[in-house]
Amino acid sequence: MVPLLARRALLAAALGLAGRRRLPRHHAPAAARPSSGAGGEPEAEGSNRATALLRHLLLKLRATGPVTVAEYMREALTNPGQGYYTHRGAIGETGDFVTSPEISQVFGERIGIWYISEWMATGKPKAFQLVELGPGRGTLIDDILRVFNQLASLLSKCDVSIHLVEVSPKLSETQALMLTGGKVQSNPEDTSAYMKGVSKTGIPIFWYRDIQDVPPGYSFYLAHEFFDALPIHKFQRTEKGWREVLVDIDPEVPDQLRFVLSPSSTPATENFIQPEETRDHVEVCPEAGVIIQRLACRIEKDGGAALVADYGHDGTKTDTFRGFQNHKLHDVLRAPGTADLTADVDFSYLRKMAQGRTATLGPIKQQEFLKNMGIDLRLQVLLQNSPDTATHEQLLHSYDMLMNPKKMGDCFNFFALLPHHRLVHPDKKHKPESLPPVAGFGELLLK
């Protein structure tokens, strides 16, 4: 079990009694991005870039014929010249979509406490790496680092380092500014870390393009709204069997794209559709499967844990592919490169891809996870200490965005990969109760 003194420090941090408190970041905007549906807003800005990427895609389609939705999505999001994340990546109130860490610092603090709690539950290893996939503006890791700093006495003998996996040069610059004040060394020639720096609190930070470049070792992994940005394949059941949905040029309208069905089955239909499938339309994200396999292998070998938070389902939803621009739904085939494209994460697929190498927990709803992590107590402390009614209102408004089942509370989920021995004692004689509970996924560790 977690020693009493350490638990007290953790409890104090959970309530916000330790360290400096910051005010909420800003008013949460009207819309986060999870809801799906028809729509599409005409867009004016960014059309030059869209034209360039669209021209590139039209050339490619004319030369090779239709491409898979996965290939289209990869180009639209991460094309090195004109992809959405590589060049726009507008996250936050003034951008295209907002994420939980951008709404309130309380979110990242709960996650920081989750990692410390797991580190303590596994006997406080002498070193750990915190690896974030797709860190966006760097806000979440900044909030986590503040918690680590508040708990400096607990972590004083632990060698902590931060490893960020980010493909976007634009967003990695934003992250460097947020986390280090811009004091970084870039080395694009380096085949592993393309940038290095030290956080404002003195912790080394490294940037990579691929999870495979992160050095091995006991690591905690974090993927918040990362898996939904990875390319999906789409499949449609027809009278002749399963067909893959492809993207092609619309012959009726110049320079416009449309969806078509493959004339016969494709290697992807053969590989990704299960014989027992009951849905008529299915989305599969093989890249997510590969990354989960890598995380599961690393956790099995070197220890640690992974926390995945995203909107998604457990193998039940059908057509969730959608685009966002300026907080509004955007036609996925219009002006590629100017809008965020996303699809719900299939947690049942992630669980399957862990292939028993690790145990999995969840998915559980964001509101349950945050409640279990003590968000209500933290809100009370912030309200008691807040100086004015405007701050009170901001705190309550951002709490409502994160927790309200109709906003982000129900559609966002938390899912974890943990070594088997974390949940079941290797010596079978030990009762499961002898292991500390995993914070957030069940009874409160911090109560």
- Which residues in this chain contact ligand SAH in the complex, by CB under 6 A? 77-78, 85, 89, 91, 99, 101-102, 134-136, 140, 165-168, 171, 224-226, 229
Cα distances (Å, whole numbers) of residue 57 to 63, 256, 294: 10, 10, 31
**303 or 336: CB nearest ligand SAH:** 336
Amino acid at 198: V
CA distance 382 to 380: 6
Cross-strand bridge partners of residue 365: 413
**76 or 438: CB nearest ligand SAH:** 76
CA distance 160 to 139: 18
- Count, residues in the chain: 447
**108 or 303: CB nearest ligand SAH:** 108
**18 or 341: CB nearest ligand SAH:** 341
Pairing of strands 159-165, 204-208: parallel
Distance in Å, CB of 225 to ligand SAH, minimum: 4
**229 or 395: CB nearest ligand SAH:** 229
Contact 82, 56 (CB under 8 A): yes
CA distance 367 to 373: 10
Distance in Å, CB of 286 to ligand SAH, minimum: 13
Q: Which of 363, 428, 439 is nearest to 119 (CA)?
A: 439
Widest CA span in the chain: 71
Distance in Å, CB of 105 to ligand SAH, minimum: 13
**173 or 319: CB nearest ligand SAH:** 173
Distance in Å, CB of 92 to ligand SAH, minimum: 8
Distance in Å, CB of 267 to ligand SAH, minimum: 22
Distance in Å, CB of 143 to ligand SAH, minimum: 11
CA distance 324 to 41: 9
Distance in Å, CB of 285 to ligand SAH, minimum: 11
Two structure tokens written together for 181: 């004040």
**242 or 399: CB nearest ligand SAH:** 399
Two structure tokens written together for 268: 């992807």
Q: 3-state class of 227 per DSSP?
A: helix
Residues 6+ apart with CB under 8 A from 140: 101, 107, 108, 111, 132, 222, 224
**84 or 148: CB nearest ligand SAH:** 84
Distance in Å, CB of 344 to ligand SAH, minimum: 15
Q: Is 65 left (phi over 0), alpha (psi -120 to 50) or beta?
A: left
Distance in Å, CB of 165 to ligand SAH, minimum: 5
Distance in Å, CB of 409 to ligand SAH, minimum: 16
**88 or 365: CB nearest ligand SAH:** 88
Q: 3-state class of 319 per DSSP?
A: coil
Amino acid at 89: G
CA distance 300 to 307: 15
| H helix and E strand count, the chain | 15, 18
C-beta neighbour count of 80 within 10 angstroms: 10
Two structure tokens written together for 9: 């420090």
DSSP strand E in 86-209: where? 127-133, 159-165, 184-186, 195-198, 204-208
Residue whose structure tokens are 């499938």? 277
**213 or 331: CB nearest ligand SAH:** 213
**121 or 195: CB nearest ligand SAH:** 195
Distance in Å, CB of 91 to ligand SAH, minimum: 5
